[in-house]
Amino acid sequence: MADHIFHNGRIYTMSGQTASAIAVKDRRIEAVGTLEELQPLADGECVFTDLQGRCVVPGFNDTHCHLLMTGLKYERLNLNGVKSMEELIERGRTYIREKNLPEGAWVIGGGFDQNIFEDPVLPDGRVLEAISDVHPVMVERICGHVGAVNPLAMSLAGFDENTRIPGGVLARDEEGHLNGIIWEAALDEFKLRMPKLDVISAKKAIQTAMSRANEAGLTSIQSDDTDGVPLDVTLQAYRELEAEGRMTVRIFQEVHAPRMQALEEFLKLGLRTGDGSDFFKIGNIKLITDGSLGARTARLREDYSDAPGEKGIAVYTQEELDELVLAAHRSGMQVAAHAIGDGAAAQCIHAFAKAWESDHVDMRNRIVHCQFVDEQMLDQMAENHIAADIQPPFVPSDYPLTASRLGEREAGGYVWKSMMEKGIHVGGGSDSPVESFSPIWGIHCAVNRTDEHFQPAGGWHPEQKLMVEEAVRLYTSHGAYLSFEENQKGTLEPGKLADFVVLDRDLFEIRPEEIKDTKICMTVVGGTVVYASAAYMGATGQNREDTTWDCRKAAN
């Protein structure tokens, strides 16, 4: 018999069927249909929830996010939106003052974008020393590929004039001395040398982020939480949260293993892609092969149009990347490789193609971001079963930059429609905290290809706009496919996990311009309500306490 029946909804199963009711038993969907059809499944203890005629879709799945870092963002120095060095410095000083940080305590922050500064240059060690010379200070650009540290932080991390980091850059001033700006693998190494995040703090940050994710309609996240955080801390934090019944988002965990030694150390743990429970699974090996467009570290095949002589950073030689990908592939680990520039994407395609040709085992290897590719590269991706893990929210952030950075080559950017037409599997993510992890915002960006003010008019390269159903699938069925979970989630069918979202309007009926204003009414994970908006509860005449708000029940 059913434990819970949700009824009087407009339910899009995304499997070709619409329904008005869902019956849940033991955290899974028992049946979908009408209330009359499902009524016989109910006994005297079955809970009924009236959906008030609202739109229901499968639970949203973010295919690339940094959940732990998103949670930490709410506790650290927030530099989003600063428009000058002076404002950055003042915000840092205010943070120290308001937090009453003692001398020697670290100041860690991020979110700045020098491209919106009055003078668009990166902050360096001297700027951060102006924040404090008695606190070690480290801040990251919004992309997470470039950072700056003050001299005290540099010293504590053991970085000096002789430090060399493969795949990374320590910038120097005109006199040849380190200036505190660090790029790519050097930034990753620096974060590993900072004081370790403890398990208690990690759990707190994850819970904060999960709560906000549920408010956004997210029920699953493919999360990169080992960038600068030791794997053992990440694993212990999630395992404890699950044991305590506090998991309200299903996690597919990416694992950083940037060099062969790190990969070999991870493989010794005996963990492989897919190992774990319904709430926490080992995901893929995460590799970063270049940087970002905004910082001009994305690896291009030809020079940047606005910086002749610069092609960005290639973290690997082709031979190094081929060897690493093949070793992971043969061990049973999926690989997700960050690549924004066409030069880096070409390297990834070559490496993934070699792995596919070696045994034709489809590990669903993916290129994360995959922002600039030409038609030949798309054909190679399709032929070699290479997926694309795209971030629609990058469009409003990046479109003002692409013409200056790439000139005519920008037409080969963010070509999601072309990817789908080629038969490439495409999932949708946010890269939060780089961008908002709201899937509704992501769907808007995929369908309209504009910012919140609908600029550029008509959408950026409108021929690459997605239909609403295609955009919703990025965050539902397509996301499930990328994590080998298409038989468990992504559509609302009997036997699958009872994860779904209730919306205040019908995404498939409203005008595309209205999508961004859609609100989440309710988020359900395993048949348990993990979020319900105050407006929805008021409309139903219920209090929050009336709902089955028991996260432990969802986890057990």
pLDDT at residue 553 is higher than 60: no
The answer, yes or no, to whether residue 364 has pLDDT greater than 90, is: yes
- Round to whole Å and give the CA distance between 166 and 401: 28
How confident is residue 11, by pLDDT bands cut at 50, 70 and 90?
very high
Give 539's pLDDT tier (boundaries 50, 70, 90). Answer: low
What does the pLDDT look like over 30-64, one tens digit per residue? 999 999 999 999 998 999 999 999 999 999 999 99
Q: What is the pLDDT of residue 168?
A: 85
Ranges 264-273, 311-320, 438-447, 527-536: which has the least confidence? 527-536
State the Cα angle at 211 between 210 and 213, rounded to 5°: 60
User: Coil, strand or helix: which one is 407?
Assistant: helix
pLDDT of residue 543: 52
Q: Give the per-residue pLDDT at 508.
A: 97
- Pairwise CA distance, residues 221 & 437, whole Å: 10
- What would the pLDDT profile of 217-255 be if each residue is shown by its tens digit? 999 999 999 987 899 999 999 999 999 999 999 999 999
Which has the higher per-residue pLDDT, 548 or 290?
290
For tokens 């980091």, the residue is 165
- Can you give the three-state secondary structure of 328-345, one letter per residue? HHHCCCCEEEEECCHHHH
Nearest to 220 by CA among 451, 481, 13: 481
Cα–Cα distance, 494 to 487 (Å, whole number)? 10
Question: 65 with 221: CB under 8 angstroms?
Answer: yes
The alpha carbon dihedral of 206, 207, 213, 218 has a sign of positive
d(CA 221, CA 402): 28
Tokens coding 222: 């493919």
> Which residues are within 8 A (CB) of 492 and not within 5 positions of it... i.e. 6 or more apart?
11, 12, 13, 14, 15, 19, 22, 29, 32, 56, 58, 500
Listed range (32-41, 57-66, 285-294, 544-553) with the worst mean pLDDT:
544-553
Helix axes 231-243, 199-215, angle to 10 degrees: 60
C-beta of residue 70 within 8 angstroms of C-beta of residue 202: no
pLDDT tens-digit series, residues 100-146 = 999 999 999 988 989 889 888 999 999 999 999 999 999 999 878 88
**Using CA atoms, how far apart are residues 151 and 159, in angstroms rounded to an integer?**
9
Under DSSP, the state recorded for 108 is E
pTM, whole model, 2 decimals? 0.88
What is the rounded average pLDDT of the residues 276-290? 97
Summarised one tens digit per residue, pLDDT across range 395-448 is 998 999 899 999 999 988 999 999 999 999 999 999 999 899 999 999 999 999
Residue 255's H or E segment, with its range, is strand 250-256
Our measurement of the distance from residue 514's CA atom to the centroid of its chain's CA atoms, rounded to an integer in Å, reads 24
